[in-house]
Amino acid sequence: MLLYDYFKTRKKVINDGLEHYLPSEKDYPEKIHKAMRYSVFAGGKRIRPILLFAIYEMLKGRKNLRGLNKLLPAAVALELVHTASLIHDDLPSMDNSKERRGKASLHVKFDNATAILAGDALITKAFEVLAEISNKEVAIKCIKILSHAISTRGMIGGQVIDLISANKKIKIETLKYIHLKKTGALLQAATDMACAFFGAEDNITIMLGNYAINLGLSYQIVDDILDEVGSFDILGKEPGEDSRNHKYTYPTILGLEQSKKMAEKLLRDAHNIIKNMPNHDVLKEFLDMIKERIP
């Protein structure tokens, strides 16, 4: 199967799942459901749920699409939480981003109160959906994995330190902490959940978690590099935004060459984790997509 088909078919499964689990725009109160759907269907790439599927299918063998149905609540929950974090991070009191994927941010399109409540509702919906997983042991495991990823030891912790660090000279360890938590935590939750469904040994779960962490960190470093030297076309947003916002980035702390080397090492290490496993082509593709962006 061509990878193009892999991504396309899995993305459709995920979008159908989101459509199924989200309340209709016609449900009362309509406003909040419109807001939730506006952000969930704003053109996300569905990286986290696709990673969940890819890890599970690497361990279990490539599945027909129906075989993925039991993972669907986990796939949907990951994307709901990712969307919630973007909505809250974009708020004026946080990163104050007026656009997201070329469209108005939720609080601009609606209002701040609706954006706060839509984020709350999406986080809550994620746990509601996970509770639908038919195997109760796996359901509880996934709920523990997701709550850990969102928590102050995960994404929320990363956002707190990111906000505290604005306009400050920070150490490379602090920058790494921010990205590990803001990006790495939910990617690792995807691989952890896939391992929970498969019933993987702890050492496999940890290894694949490291793959997820390296994927997240290398993505962020390359994003920082492109913000420094890239064009609008490659970046998908105006370059130089980070430095204009006085944000410390990998290139500003380590320099461009050192940052590139770090990204390349993370990608190499991630490749070493998966290269001897069968059916690792999708996981390799994730790494290649980042590698190709390095200027």
What is the rounded radius of gyration, in angstroms, for the C-alpha atoms of the chain? 19
Rounded Cα distance between 166 and 106, Å, is 23
State the binding string over 11-30 for a second copy (x if CB under 8 A, else -).
------------x---xxx-
Q: Least distance in Å: CB of 37 to a second copy?
A: 12
Contact flags string 134-173 toward a second copy, x per CB under 8 A: --xx-xx--xx-xxx-xxxx--xx-xxx-xx---------
Q: Please state, in angstroms and as integers, the Cα–Cα distance from residue 199 to each residue in 51, 59, 137, 231, 261, following that order.
A: 17, 10, 11, 44, 35
**Number of residues located near a second copy, criterion CB under 8 A:** 49
**From the centroid of its chain, how far is CA 294?**
20
**Four-CA torsion 241, 244, 248, 250, nearest 10 degrees:** 50
How far CA 74 is from CA of 70, 110, 134, 135, 271, in Å, comes to 9, 28, 11, 12, 25
108 sits near a second copy (criterion: CB under 8 A): no
The stretch near a second copy (CB under 8 A) out of 4-12, 60-68, 119-127, 189-197 is 119-127
Comparing CB distances to a second copy, the nearer of 129 and 221 is 129
Q: Which of 88, 100, 179, 182 binds a second copy (CB under 8 A)?
A: 88
Least distance (Å) between residue 33 CB and a second copy = 6
Nearest approach in angstroms of CB 87 to a second copy is 10
C-alpha torsion sign, points 269, 273, 275, 281: negative
Least Cβ distance, residue 245 to a second copy (angstroms): 15
Kindly state whether residue 123 participates in binding a second copy, applying the rule CB under 8 A: yes
- Out of 48, 82, 100, 125, the only residue in the binding site for a second copy (CB under 8 A) is 125
Q: Name the minimum Å distance from CB 197 to a second copy.
A: 16
Using CB under 8 A as the binding rule, whether residue 74 contacts a second copy is answered as no
* Interface positions with a second copy (CB under 8 A): 23, 27-29, 31-33, 36, 84, 88, 91, 93-94, 111-114, 116-117, 119-121, 123-125, 127-128, 130-131, 136-137, 139-140, 143-144, 146-148, 150-153, 156-157, 159-161, 163-164
